[in-house]
Structure 1
Amino acid sequence: MSNAPKPAAAATTEGTLANIVSHAKEYGFVFQSSEIYDGLGAVYDYGPNGVELKNNLKQLWWKAMTQLHQNVVGLDAAIFMHPLTWKASGHVDGFSDPMIDNLDSKKRYRADVLLEDRAAEHEKNGELARAETLLAEMGRLLTSEDLAGVRQLIIDEQIVCPISKTGNWTEVRQFNLMFSTQVGAVAEDSSLIYLRPETAQGIFVNFLNVQKSARQKVPFGIAQIGKAFRNEIVARQFIFRMREFEQMELQFFVRPGTEGEWYEHWKTMRRRWHEVMGLPADKLRFHDHDKLAHYAKAAVDIEYEFPFGFKEIEGIHSRGDFDLTQHQTLSKKKQQYFDADIDPETGKAYGNYVPFVVETSAGADRLFLATLCQAYQEETITEGEGDKEQTKTRTFLKLHPAVAPVKAAIFPLVKKDGMPEKATEIFNALRHDFRVIMEERDAIGKRYTRQDLIGTPFCIVVDGQTLEDDTVTVRHRDSREQTRMPIAELRAYIGEAVSFSRIFERL
């Protein structure tokens, strides 16, 4: 039996970034790091609800990669690596961003970001061709390392500092993004090492260890979730660009010559995953790289339309054999794989070769932000009857039950007549399977509102009838409908809704 509320009086709308940032702090999703000391720029902490949501997103990615694919296994590599790792990968010599300073405000900016933002403005104004021309020219200049040309492009576009409102720019120069530190007990005997700027190299240096121990045959993949660190000068847009962040990466090793088809495969699969996770198809798009790394054969970003425009949430790259070959050269340890399969053209085994790599790299923090932006909803609803009828704005997080921080909240209608005790029984019966909470304070409407604001899909109300027939009212977050059901059915009912299977079956 269902008790349906009055329908919303106005269409649901999404919030601005300022709304979402404020909501994230107030309801325990994201806090500024070291806030009592006025914070540390571009570093954030995940609160009680934020850590649950982020962990759920990471677990879904992990299981989708390693559990649904027999030829993908996991790894958890150390943050500190031998410094020659970063020499081989090119990070020591070439991991930098083009920076430009405004002489009036004394603020530093990434030159490419300034130009990308201007291109986004052109696109927003309907000048798509102008935006594409600008990005293509920027890519050409950066590829040829023509930093003077990049500066002139900024001047030609009449880009000004948002603080000083002037175009009094310095020359553009490269700024290395790696954090360095010392390893060793005594300062004078210590060695320079780096906090890893990406997680991929930990996979590459363990390629043969994993392949042999996991008895994998090419093609196969190695998945990893881990922290990375970049000394971003331009860190903005909340948790979109941070100095300490988390990557979810798959390095997929393939036979040379097959990388193109695997690149297209993972490009399709990864976009599909984001759609199944709840990001609408019309708010996702592919953006092919205008500037390819010197080793790359192809690269594309999956972009989501944030409140501040389309931005990357995941990259798919065809990396060739660059990484393994570089490590083989510098370490003098062979990184070859023996392929016993028969080449139909020669009739002989493929033999030894350095595999090519197709990479998918998603930002856990960016996925978290995209999920939060998409889930944040404001709608106008009508409550009450007759003279007491009123409209109000309802804010809630429309999170998929599988990723919601809390799966169900249990409310005794009143704090007497045995209802709190019965609610405690239900809480104890469910807490081993799901993250549930019990609340007794305030009117039932206020308790519903609190759960809506953190995205809890179900509220379970214990009332007088519960004590008579062991049934409860289950209130649904999105529709606000209320359904009566036996307590004995709760575990199966919630379990069906929050199961990862509901997502996996659509992949």
Structure 2
Amino acid sequence: MSKNNYRLEELEKLVSLAKRRGIIFPSSEIYGGLSSVWDYGPIGVEIKRNVKNLWWKSFVSERDDIFGIDASILMHPDVWKASGHLESFSDPLVECSLTGKRYREDHIFILEIETKKENKIIAIEASDKNEAEKLVKEKIISIIPLIESDSKENPSPDGGTLSDPRNFNLMFKTFIGPVEDSSSTVYLRPETAQAMFVNFLNVLNSSRKKIPFGIAQQGKSFRNEITPGNFTFRTREFEQMTMKNGMTTGFSSH
């Protein structure tokens, strides 16, 4: 058994154990579930609450220079325009011509493997070069990220060919109000940090605290990942705990 298959098998055992113990369940399971979306059970929600409470106590309650906020998930679209999220918060997307499956372009590696008769060009999905090398081990002659490859061959891990890459914005789009058009477009926040920036002056004035001081927040964020997976390690809905320190020279992150 390869190391990769072993890790997947062990991860499946972990997921099964977490479900049996009431830690976490696949969301909407009675309707077939929803990929990479999870519900925390009776034990899981208490573990999660304890972690959040400990973090809040350490970073906010026990300090007099950090102030907490609880900002809205929906924000004015100009916030995301100013931060660059509308233009550049994206991943390169490619699609298999045979199966229609979509991949992050920078997670596809072109491999030239040596066989008895000939060298063969294949594609493999991996998070980085080191992982790809482990998957094919000593058979690799060369390994080149597809995004940097000059090869005319663009094979897919599923056996077809890959489309030309296009940028895929990771923000979830929705509409506010009864009319669905560009004037009513809003986004589920992909991170909690922006709310701290736009509320900085409000916190400064209301707290009567001089710089430097920090702002902290806990809350849900959403990213429409192309290839989610690996249990809770890469999901489309997740919780963040963020603290920003406001200095005379700018912000620092924690």
Return the letter of the residue paired with 1:253. Answer: G
| Alpha-carbon distance in structure 1 between the residues aligned to 2:83 and 2:161 | 36
Asked if the contact 1:155/1:167 (under 8 Å) is kept, the reply is: no
Matches within 5 A, 1:45-444: 45-114=39-108, 117-121=127-131, 150=147, 152=149, 161=157, 164=158, 166=159, 168-186=161-179, 191-256=184-249, 356-360=250-254
| Alpha-carbon distance in structure 1 between the residues aligned to 2:219 and 2:150 | 37
Count the aligned residue pairs. 225
Asked if the contact 2:91/2:168 (under 8 Å) is kept, the reply is: yes
| Alpha-carbon distance in structure 1 between the residues aligned to 2:234 and 2:96 | 21
Asked if the contact 1:225/1:246 (under 8 Å) is kept, the reply is: yes
Moved more, 188-197 or 208-217: 188-197
Deviations 1:106-142 (A, max 9, x none): 21011223456242326759x9xx9xxx8xx96xxxx
Asked if the contact 1:181/1:194 (under 8 Å) is kept, the reply is: yes
Give the equivalent residue in structure 2 for 1:294. Answer: none
SS at match of 2:149: helix
Asked if the contact 2:155/2:162 (under 8 Å) is kept, the reply is: no
Asked if the contact 1:29/1:49 (under 8 Å) is kept, the reply is: yes
Q: Which has the higher contact order (CA 8 A, sep 6+)?
A: 2
Q: CA deviation at 1:93?
A: 1.5
Taking only aligned residues, the RMSD between alpha carbons, in angstroms, comes to: 2.9
Q: CA deviation at 1:209?
A: 0.6
Give the equivalent residue in structure 2 for 1:301. Answer: none
Asked if the contact 1:151/1:171 (under 8 Å) is kept, the reply is: no
Asked if the contact 1:211/1:217 (under 8 Å) is kept, the reply is: yes
Return the letter of the residue paired with 1:119. Answer: K
Q: Normalised by the size of structure 1, how large is the TM-score? A: 0.41
Give the percent of matched residue pairs that are identical in Structure 1 and Structure 2: 47
| Alpha-carbon distance in structure 2 between the residues aligned to 1:232 and 1:50 | 24
Q: CA deviation at 1:190?
A: 6.5
Q: Where does structure 1 lack aligned partners over 5 or more consecutive residues?
A: 1-14, 139-148, 257-355, 361-507
Asked if the contact 1:184/1:190 (under 8 Å) is kept, the reply is: no
Asked if the contact 1:235/1:243 (under 8 Å) is kept, the reply is: yes
Deviations 1:412-466 (A, max 9, x none): xxxxxxxxxxxxxxxxxxxxxxxxxxxxxxxxxxxxxxxxxxxxxxxxxxxxxxx
Q: 1:114 to 1:254 in 2, by over 3 A?
A: farther
Return the letter of the residue paired with 2:53. Answer: Q
Q: Where does structure 2 lack aligned partners over 5 or more consecutive residues?
A: 1-8, 110-125
SS at match of 1:217: coil
Give the equivalent residue in structure 2 for 1:395. Answer: none
Asked if the contact 1:118/1:159 (under 8 Å) is kept, the reply is: no
SS at match of 2:58: helix
